[in-house]
Amino acid sequence: MTQRTVHVLTDDDALFQRFMRLGDVWSVLRLQGPERLDALPAESLVVLDTACAGLAATALEQWQAWSARLLAVVVSSMPTDDEGLYFLDAGASGYSHAYAAEVTLRQILDVVVSGEKWVGKSLLNRLLAGLQQARENHTDKRTVLLTGREREVALLAAKGQSNQLIAETLQITERTVKAHLSAAFEKLQVSDRLQLALKIHGIPH
């Protein structure tokens, strides 16, 4: 059996460990920064974590350039149909919850390596529902991707911390915490912190 190499770009150690455990079929390497993507040979399999610091600021054009050369699987710890559309539009080969079951992750990599695209059933249903409708509305980066601060606050809230505690932790006012959380709620299409926690931790409702 041939061994494929997959390059993972993430700031999340736990996430990287998950890929390390995928099995001996996969040789897993960690990318140290987005700039290394350009140095990879064409058709390389890469996994990109949207929460990665260097990626949030990346322009759509850059995504398209990468996607054209590489097999990019975008993973998010807070997946959204809109975000998925954004990256698949940009040319990504796959989009998934970062903490999907390991069997699913293996399946995704297998599918992508074989040249197909991997689209989760949630997004797939939406695409089938009406492609023209999805196209004219969203797919706008700033209404989809969390900013760094929003992500920080969202993760703390998902761990069960109160607004007040988050404020103390980050040395900002509770009001600001609320602002970031409200923004995160909208972008992630959830209504409150519990739904946020469930989504972030990959628990289906």
Work out whether strand 94-97 and strand 71-76 pair parallel, antiparallel, or are unpaired.
Answer: parallel
The item of DNA, a copy of itself, none sharing an interface with residue 49, based on CB under 5 to 8 Å by kind, is: none
Assess contact for 121 and 100: CB atoms under 8 A: no
Residues 122/204, Cβ–Cβ less than 8 Å = no
Radius of gyration of the chain (CA): 17
- Strands (DSSP E) along the chain, which ranges? 4-9, 26-30, 45-49, 71-76, 94-97, 118-119
Which CB atom, from 134 or from 197, has the smaller least distance to a copy of itself? Answer: 197
181 scored as a contact of DNA (CB under 7 A): yes
CB nearer to a copy of itself: give 28 or 196.
196
Tell me which of a copy of itself, DNA, none is bound by residue 150, counting a contact when its beta carbon lies within the kind-specific cut-off of 5 to 8 angstroms.
DNA
Task: Tell whether the torsion through CA atoms of 197, 78, 168 and 192 is positive or negative.
Answer: negative
In angstroms, give the least distance from the CB of 86 to DNA.
13
Give yes or no for residue 178 binding DNA (CB under 7 A): yes
Q: Collapsing DSSP states into helix, strand and coil, what is residue 205?
A: coil
Closest CA to 78 of 193, 162, 176: 193
Q: List the interface residues with DNA, window 87-146 (CB under 7 A).
A: 142, 145
Tell me the three state secondary structure of residue 81.
helix
Q: How far is the CB of 148 from DNA (least distance, A)?
A: 4
CB under 5 to 8 A by kind: which of DNA, a copy of itself, none does 178 bind? DNA
Give the footprint of a copy of itself on this chain (CB under 8 A). 159-160, 192-195, 197-198, 201, 203, 205
Residue 159 interacts with, from DNA, a copy of itself, none (CB under 5-8 Å by kind): a copy of itself
Residues interacting with DNA, by CB under 7 A?
142, 145, 147-150, 157, 162-164, 170, 172-173, 175-176, 178-182, 185-186, 191-194
